Amino acid sequence: MTKMFRIGIMLTVMLGTAVVAAPLAAEPAVPTSVAEINLSFAPIVKKVAPAVVNVYASRTDSQPRNPLFNDPIFRHFFGDGDSEEGRPGGPTAQSLGSGVLIDPSGLVVTNYHVIAGMTDVKVALSDRRELEATIVLRDQRTDLAVLRLKGKGPFPFMEFDDSDKLEVGDLVLAIGDPFGVGQTVTQGIISALARTEEGISHYGFFIQTDAAINPGNSGGALVDMRGRLIGINSAIVSQTGSSVGIGFAIPSDMVKVVVATAKSGRTEVRRPWLGAGLQNVSREIADSLNLDRPAGTLVTDVTPKSPAEAAGLKQGDLIVSVDGQPTDDVEAFSYRFATAPLGGKVTLSIVRDSKPLTLVLNAEPAPDLPRDPVKIAGSSPFAGATVINISPAVAEEYSLDAARQGVVISDVDEESRAAALNLQKGDVIITVNDKKIETTHDLQQATTGDHYFWKISIGRGNQIITTVIGG
């Protein structure tokens, strides 16, 4: 069976070196002579290589594994005890990937999954320097992270290019550290654009390339013939875990949004809020709407007092483009809308009752109502967890269904009961002992006192888990 692999490596030893780009004047063109065919990519590589680095991340876990995880029934409900944020999984954990310097001050972009759950990060440069780095921003929704080098600059860096200008067939170079062997450059073409439904991140909208990328290339650079960054290599499709010529990169236009957030000093990415439910158009829906093909994004509901309602969007509208860019499915819409600049306007082309319409929507962040954070104490399963109320902003931040009721876990103390039970950041607590939880203070009251058992229901992703835990 063909599988999707994120292309980081878990290792105990770091190998290899690190890796800049400056633009070339000539526009891409098809070779017209033998002399042109014999031209080399070496000038581009020399310019870009110093900006591609190796990222070495690690953490040390001190908390022993809870014996409850030896019970297969318990693991069925709560996982195996190894969460992304560093729950017990052994005395040490290490990860090796790649990164790209995108600023002379020492900002590095890499994949979130390269540093997920890690606390200590080092970066190896092409000049053999090895520098410590701080994690400036983690954005799980895009599978991107930004690091800052602890060292004296200026550093070599790579400039961005516009990923929307790419065309299928364009020549590209992939640079990274596959299998920890050292910096490696491979060449290929853009095989496809706007690849969605790959399940790699929340915004499934990728550049596909046949340039060989392998485990360890995660966070490395996809470079065009102008020597500029057009994508961050993130995953491959493979039956073995090695390259078969189907690799995916996060487009540079999405990377720019995350980098701009890091430069602004914020630690969380703020994106425009639509305030509407969406679904893909199936063949049956297309037939019912008299469409010639199943394409577009169907509006299923509109949140009161949202930008969608203010712009006049209605249930049953079919969104076909955002700012002139086609949106054939929900993933494409989410990408286009998320990369729109806050504070501006977004133009939606829609079809309503078989008639084309244009709506203009304000690109504004979701409102953040009082979160009222509460840290749960006592002997309940939630002891050591901090919970917050759900608002549109919280739902956006934690990728929650807008209709989900309850309170969400925002933090879990190490060596707490909540951590031992593998409760995770982003879990939504729905009921406790059949009592509906609507606010953080509801949970605080429901968890006071001692109980022989606790019946709890939590939401994790698209699942609702109900189980009974001893007091």
- Binding site for substrate: what residues are annotated? 113, 143, 216-218
| Cα 434 to Cα 301, 385, 466, 468, distances in angstroms | 29, 20, 10, 11
Q: Which of 322, 350, 352 is nearest to 337 (CA)?
A: 322
Under 8 Å between Cβ of 173 and 7: no
Say what the alpha-carbon torsion angle 100, 106, 112, 115 is, to the nearest 10 degrees: 110
What are the residues whose beta carbons fall under 8 Å from the beta carbon of 172, sequence distance 6 or more?
187, 188, 189, 190, 209, 211, 222, 223, 224, 225, 230
Q: Kindly state the DSSP code that residue 55 receives in the 8-state scheme.
A: E
Choose the catalytic residue: 113, 163, 329, 442: 113
Q: Which of 60, 50, 46 is nearest to 99 (CA)?
A: 50
Return d(Cα 217, Cα 444) in angstroms, integer: 45
Does residue 218 carry a catalytic annotation?
A: yes
| Cα 139 to Cα 161, 200, 202, 259, distances in angstroms | 21, 13, 10, 11
Under 8 Å between Cβ of 326 and 332: yes
Q: Given the DSSP bridges, would you call strands 385-389 and 374-375 parallel, antiparallel or unpaired?
A: antiparallel
Choose the catalytic residue: 143, 161, 177, 442: 143
Dihedral-angle region of residue 169 (phi above 0 means left; psi in -120 to 50 means alpha; beta otherwise)? left
Return d(Cα 251, Cα 233) in angstroms, integer: 9
Does residue 113 carry a catalytic annotation?
A: yes
What are the backbone angles phi and psi of residue 147, rounded to the nearest 5°?
Answer: -115, 160
Total residue count of the chain as it appears in this document: 471
Choose the catalytic residue: 126, 218, 234, 321: 218
Location of structure tokens 């607590």: 429
- Total Cβ atoms within 10 A of residue 469: 17
Under 8 Å between Cβ of 279 and 234: no
Q: Which of 69, 82, 77 is nearest to 10 (CA)?
A: 82
- Positions marked active-site: 113, 143, 218
